[in-house]
Structure 1
Amino acid sequence: MLPAQDLALLRKTLKRDLTDVELACFENLWSEHCSYRSTRHLLRTLPTEGPGVLLGPGDDAAIVRFSDTCALAVGMESHNHPSYVDPYDGAATGVGGIVRDVLSMGARPIALMDPLYFGPLDSEKNRYIFEHVVAGVGGYGNCIGVPVVRGELVFESSYSGNPLVNVVCVGIVDPDRYITARVKKPGNHLVLIGSSTGRDGLGGASFASRDLSEDAEAADRPSVQIGDPYTEKLLIDAILAMAETGKVLSCRDLGAAGLAGASSEMASTFGAVIHADRVHLRETGMTPREIMLAESQERMLVEVAPEDVILIGAIAERFDLDWSDIGEVIAEPRYIVRYLGETVADLPIDLLVGGAPRCSWEQKPYSAERPFSRPEVPVKDLALAVLAHPDVARKDWVYEQYDKDVQVRSVSLLHDAAVLRLEGKALVLSCGCNPSQIFLKPYDGAANAVIENAGNLACLGAEPLCIVDCLNFASPEQPEVAWQIEQCVLGLGEMARKMGIPIVGGNVSLYNESDEFDTRIMPTPSIGMLGRGEVRRWTAPNEGDLIALVGRTLPDFGGSVLDAVTGCGGPAPAMADPAVVAIVRGLVASGSVTAATDLSRGGLLAALAKVAPRAEVALAGDPLEELFSETCGRFLLAVRDESVLAGVKHRIIGTVGGDTLTIRLERESIVIPPEDLDAALSTTTRTMRY
């Protein structure tokens, strides 16, 4: 439903009442999901330019140069509300949508990442949502032949009733031949290619711009699209074949707001006439409103010259896809929809596409950090509890559902970042953030998300190329949430500028709340980062290697895994110094270290379990601070000779080798044999199945 103030503004501007189709167009295109009414002024503060950026924010995907002959198309999207209502189809169509965003640039999709956030696994409903979301991501990605090479899993109570399903897609394209989504010339035709239009997904954009109510599953199921990955695979091949002809002048995926959204945004530099009665349909009796706003999947809109329509149609038919010549680009800046000879919409196109008034919300800063309360639990018991927490423990059951090797570019996918072979170099990918810490310190936590992802790339010797983001928050109408949003965007921007990494695109998802569970999500500015380096696998250390800790450790327990398992509280990490990332990157790139990992969830203990599960370690400070602090900007390195760390502030804390993980503390030693370590790290995998 269009808000009363918007309706009044439109009636005043147009000096008339609106038709049913016009009302639906504004309801969706002026929604938060499409127009970023609450955030676009903040997004303009982000650094978006860089020497490798060929096309920044504003299109379906960004284009970033990887080499002289190869560019990356990259985008990031959310499909949060649909994935609660219908977990499998919501997640699957989220994958399909972001793949088509990359495809619309004329790029071949080569990789996916999926940062996912769920409520605790002790809830049967959360386990059901989790299992079916993972199955949806894997099922769709596997069928279309695009590997899921990286992801993140976070489990926290605020996501009960409103999981977050964020997806990054990366594609490759000739840097001189990518396609954009803006029409080029009046008189050209708009051709719709792909699946027939049905009633699925009606009102999806407006649905994504409100919180979830208790009866969401039944009432909102029609707003969830149904995907067909086999048609998507045909569509990928067809669009790439069309792009190869050089006859596709612009292209856009039909996503939020369906044909109305794609065609009006595509034609916003000029204008367009759309003939709704020419659209190929799956169902009879559809109204013009339904035809224009349905979000049926696997559909693309292309601009071609009139003389090339038959050629493009023939390519579609070669791939067994339907197509329709449904509109024309016009010189007058109007958006006109006709149906059976009747004009059912006639609007100023700039009013429809860019005219949504900004929403300004009251802000209220808060302080949520609590004093540290020392847990009265033996250190070894705390260690096993931290390792068994689902944010730290193994995720094998999830990763095994994804075909990670299709397209045969994958080199190394586990541990800190994914490595793909591309143009004789490594394309290195990382994603995620730490919502618990960001909730406590939104500015610092969002900045640290940039450092942590850059650190993941550094552990494989890769230099960051760009960032995409998915800014997930609760209702901006809550003053505390409005403050979170501003602080997170400013924090992301500051660290991206400090590190010289452009933020080239992304998505904003607001109103992530649940009446049913009485929850609103923690601020979750999830990011995806792409980097370039030499091709190398993540390697395990050698027997006898020295273990070095780089970076200063502070008692940062707030938002940590220790806090999650004990409720101990404490301060969250402050913004880290990014200089250490460049130091570690240089060490790895030079071959000076045999293994490297950054310290993040689970602190030093989790890093040891990953890098040196059999080692002798001696720690002189407070045991909890040494083992469980999550101070950002720290790394664990394995080196053959300490001399390679000359000039780098570090501590040698142990040696790789032995039969157990033995940690000597000031007053005691804890010994974790392999079977205990394996049991703790496997706990989550054993409880993940619904």
Structure 2
Amino acid sequence: MTLDTVKHAGGTPDVEQPWAELGLKQDEYARIREILGRRPTGAELAMYSVMWSEHCSYKSSKVHLKQFSEKKPESDAMLVGIGENAGVVDVGQGYAVTFKVESHNHPSYIEPYQGAATGIGGIVRDILAMGARPVAVVDPLRFGAADHPDTKRVLPGVVAGIGGYGNCLGLPNIGGEVVFDSCYQGNPLVNAGCIGVMKHEDLHLAKASGPGNKVILYGARTGGDGIGGVSVLASETFDAAGKPTKRPAVQVGDPFQEKLLIECTLEIFREKLVAGIQDLGGAGLSCATSELASAGSGGMRVELDTVPLRDATLSPEEILMSESQERMCAVVEPDKVERFLAICEKWDVIATVIGEVTDGERLEIYWHGEQIVDVPPRSVAHEGPTYHRPYARPEWQDALQADDAGTLPRPGTGAELKDQVLKLVAHPNQASKAWITDQYDRFVQGNTVLAQPEDAGMIRIDEETNLGVAMATDGNGRYAKLDPYTGAQLALAEAYRNVAASGARPLAISDCLNFGSPEDPAVMWQFAEVTRGLADGCLELGTPVTGGNVSLYNQTGEVAIHPTPVVAVLGVIDDVTRRTPIAFAEEGQLLYLLGDTREEFGGSAWSEVVHGHLGGLPPRVDLAREKLLGEILISASRDGMIDAAHDLSDGGLVQAVVESCLRGGTGARLVVPDGLDAFTFLFSESAGRAVVAVPRSEELRFTDMCGARGLPATRIGVVDGTELDVQGEFGVSLDELRTAHEATVPALLA
């Protein structure tokens, strides 16, 4: 077989090439030929196919994502924004924090354990590549119906993969979500996030500058796993039977190799041995080489046959497309190469010089002396196609919104209220997820301050000053289905509220936008509305988008998932000893409801649990109120005015109170406020609210602060006894609530 070299390609313009099988459209293939002035070689075609995929090029989404830059709020904290491996923010005292959320949805459906494990591995390397030490992970998850047989196949494997990889790395898993909905049947969402910490001077970027600087590939050997993952798997829909039409190999992870890679890389950073660095994740070497060269000041020459392999039969195209895990690519000055290699040897990490930076403008790749790639690197990495996909509000949207949840039958007696409360807290979406989170090490390294089931995860990053950061991830696909614009802002508001409830000041966000096929105008309308909602919301809250991920083609047959924007908010707290937990821990604490409660049940947990209903409008959003509520929660935490706080979201007040009572092991007596009926009081999902436990000694100071700032604060009860007592309506013991809350998930998945 003749090697398809650049020279050979130039002389054989009519050779048929498998561009369609690699996920390219005919006009995209024609554009590649136009850029090169000839047909591409097989290796070039492989590179363009993975780099021009939805996953890497954002070709269907970037026309909408540009709003995040156009509407970016002013922020003194922002150090690195959209475009790098992860965003970076200043958190004070010379520290910077980098964080990001990404998806590994389709691989996790095909091979749950490895798909989820390598999702953790990939996001950790993104954080590492910025120069930071990874310190914690989070995992927002969505699965099909909890009682569906395939959920029992997928969920345990995903959880085991996340726990297995993260636990082996020694990274605490401090937050996330688990949501069940039949719309995710056959297409679970496995999103993974990571937080990293560094000093400002340790920041590194992905660029290859300086002619003569060496390009070093280090980490695991390259194998045949994950070949074409981003061009085929991440852009693949599943048929009605839940089977992908193509089955490229899912990446296989080795967390112990990654742990060595992390420590090796951090030592390399400490000795300032790299001029540029990039992790190898989606698109593998195709991405690392083209992005490094594109972001630098020159070209790059790579000798591909020097790449260490696990499988000697791999072709050049397969090497370029392989997404084998635990690999990094560094640009190193010649006089530092020897020391770089010595550190790698110390950590038992394979390192190989595979090329060098040139003074040209091309990315050139050779195979045993024959040139197989000669491309402008920007055309591969940053100048992929841009689609202005047609989008239109779906015809069914009006009917869905008109199907008002407020007209559903409501409980008429205290006994019926009690029955529905027990059903709510036992539903898989509201029930305890301890069966899942207990498989994660939440406290390794000893710096975890808050973790599941708290409102936000919190990590101490300086042991002397107690400086810390908090993160919460949220996203309600039911709200976004009813109104994508409002649903996106509700996800942002909830994550913002969760961080503030912990006592931390929200700084910035990352997002993971999960949608169906962009070729469906209804899906693209949802996407356009969500991005518009997020951009407008972040501008009003002053929380810039630092980066994130778009995951498209999440659907089974013709049925798309609910639009599911997952929003991660990062916050900073000066002293983690002042954090606020959710637990009602001491009898006599006074319970206050902050915010306004309205009859808002569209997309609510109550409408789903009791009636199996989705319709109407989601709760309204008032971001100015969210900001005020956040300021009150942060000030009260800092000044010792509250002992506990819990945001109100899915399930309303009663869900929050039950969780806080069970967390602290104490009961509560609640009184329905004037102007509200018991049902609305307990189950409404109005946004911009929280319940707080106030020491009696601080009641006057706290209520004066709320009054002076114009935040409604209503005393609704007291922490007391061993039951939840809604006076005049019903009482239910903590034992009965605990049984209902904790038995569901183990029974489903045992």
Q: Which residue of 2 aligns with 1:489?
A: 531
Checking the alignment, whether the CA contact within 8 Å between 1:451 and 1:581 is kept in structure 2 is no
Q: Which residue of 1 aligns with 2:487?
A: 445
Give the secondary-structure state (helix, strand or coil) at the position aligned to 1:554.
Answer: coil
Q: Which residue of 2 aligns with 1:196?
A: 221
Give the secondary-structure state (helix, strand or coil) at the position aligned to 1:66.
Answer: strand
Checking the alignment, whether the CA contact within 8 Å between 2:584 and 2:719 is kept in structure 1 is no
Q: Which residue of 1 aligns with 2:732?
A: 672
- Which moved further from structure 2: 676-685 or 75-84? 676-685
Q: Which residue of 2 aligns with 1:123?
A: 148
Relative to structure 1, is the Cα distance of residues 598 and 223 closer, same or farther in structure 2, using a 3 angstrom cutoff? Answer: same
Question: Is 1:167 the counterpart of 2:192 in the alignment?
Answer: yes
Alignment of 1:92-103 (within 5 A): 92-103=117-128
Alignment of 1:43-82 (within 5 A): 43-46=65-68, 47=72, 50-82=75-107
- Spell out structure 1 runs of 4+ moving beyond 4 A: 214-221
Alignment of 1:526-541 (within 5 A): 526-533=566-573, 534-535=575-576, 536-537=578-579, 538=581, 539-541=583-585
Q: How far apart are residue 489 of structure 1 and its match?
A: 1.0
Q: Which of 551, 566, 578 is 1:509 aligned to?
A: 551
Checking the alignment, whether the CA contact within 8 Å between 1:202 and 1:294 is kept in structure 2 is yes
Q: How far apart are residue 81 of structure 1 and its match?
A: 0.6
> Counterpart amino acid of 1:22?
E
Q: Give, in whole Å, the separation in 2 of the partners of 1:602 and 1:45.
A: 32
Q: Which residue of 2 aligns with 1:410?
A: 448
Q: Which residue of 1 aligns with 2:652?
A: 603
Give the secondary-structure state (helix, strand or coil) at the position aligned to 2:202.
Answer: coil
Give the secondary-structure state (helix, strand or coil) at the position aligned to 2:230.
Answer: helix
Give the secondary-structure state (helix, strand or coil) at the position aligned to 1:242.
Answer: helix
Structure 1 residues 309-366: Cα deviation after superposition (integer angstroms, max 9, x where no partner): 2221121111111121111112222121110111111112221112212111122223
TM-score with structure 1 setting the length: 0.96
Checking the alignment, whether the CA contact within 8 Å between 1:71 and 1:173 is kept in structure 2 is yes
CA RMSD, Structure 1 to Structure 2 (Å): 1.7
Q: Give, in whole Å, the separation in 2 of the partners of 1:12 and 1:49.
A: 41
- Which moved further from structure 2: 334-343 or 532-541? 532-541
Q: Which residue of 2 aligns with 1:347?
A: 375
Q: Which of 409, 413, 422 is 1:375 aligned to?
A: 409
Q: Which residue of 1 aligns with 2:16?
A: none
Question: Is 1:521 the counterpart of 2:549 in the alignment?
Answer: no
Q: Give, in whole Å, the separation in 2 of the partners of 1:511 and 1:14.
A: 30
Q: Which residue of 2 aligns with 1:585?
A: 634
Q: Which residue of 1 aligns with 2:703?
A: 645
Q: How far apart are residue 581 of structure 1 and its match?
A: 2.1
Identify unmatched segments of 5+ residues in structure 2.
1-21
Structure 1 residues 619-660: Cα deviation after superposition (integer angstroms, max 9, x where no partner): 152333221111111111122344221203122121221231
Q: Give, in whole Å, the separation in 1 of the partners of 2:660 and 2:169.
A: 34
Alignment of 1:248-647 (within 5 A): 248-268=274-294, 269=296, 270-365=298-393, 366-367=397-398, 368-369=400-401, 370-372=403-405, 373-375=407-409, 378-413=416-451, 414-423=453-462, 424-515=466-557, 519-533=559-573, 534-535=575-576, 536-537=578-579, 538=581, 539-565=583-609, 566-568=611-613, 569-576=615-622, 577-578=625-626, 579-612=628-661, 614-619=667-672, 620=674, 621-641=676-696, 642-643=699-700, 644-646=702-704, 647=707
Relative to structure 1, is the Cα distance of residues 459 and 547 closer, same or farther in structure 2, using a 3 angstrom cutoff? Answer: same
Alignment of 1:1-16 (within 5 A): 1=22, 2-16=24-38
Give the secondary-structure state (helix, strand or coil) at the position aligned to 1:407.
Answer: helix
Q: Give, in whole Å, the separation in 2 of the partners of 1:481 and 1:193.
A: 40
> Counterpart amino acid of 1:673?
S
Give the secondary-structure state (helix, strand or coil) at the position aligned to 2:139.
Answer: strand
Give the secondary-structure state (helix, strand or coil) at the position aligned to 1:10.
Answer: helix
- Which moved further from structure 2: 248-257 or 214-223? 214-223
Structure 1 residues 483-508: Cα deviation after superposition (integer angstroms, max 9, x where no partner): 11111111111121111112111111
Q: How far apart are residue 100 of structure 1 and its match?
A: 0.6
Q: How far apart are residue 91 of structure 1 and its match?
A: 0.2
- Which moved further from structure 2: 209-218 or 642-651? 209-218
Checking the alignment, whether the CA contact within 8 Å between 1:86 and 1:217 is kept in structure 2 is no
Q: How far apart are residue 155 of structure 1 and its match?
A: 0.8
Q: How far apart are residue 541 of structure 1 and its match?
A: 4.3
Q: Which of 41, 63, 66 is 1:41 aligned to?
A: 63
Aligned length: 685
Q: How far apart are residue 290 of structure 1 and its match?
A: 0.8
Give the secondary-structure state (helix, strand or coil) at the position aligned to 1:491.
Answer: helix
Structure 1 residues 520-551: Cα deviation after superposition (integer angstroms, max 9, x where no partner): 11111112111111213515342122211111
Q: Give, in whole Å, the separation in 2 of the partners of 1:659 and 1:253.
A: 53
Q: Which residue of 1 aligns with 2:9?
A: none
Q: Give, in whole Å, the separation in 2 of the partners of 1:406 and 1:166.
A: 22
Name the % identity.
39
Structure 1 residues 212-239: Cα deviation after superposition (integer angstroms, max 9, x where no partner): 2367768655331000011001101111
Q: Give, in whole Å, the separation in 2 of the partners of 1:168 and 1:485.
A: 21
Q: How far apart are residue 50 of structure 1 and its match?
A: 1.8
Q: How far apart are residue 103 of structure 1 and its match?
A: 0.9
Q: Which residue of 1 aligns with 2:177?
A: 152
TM-score with structure 2 setting the length: 0.89
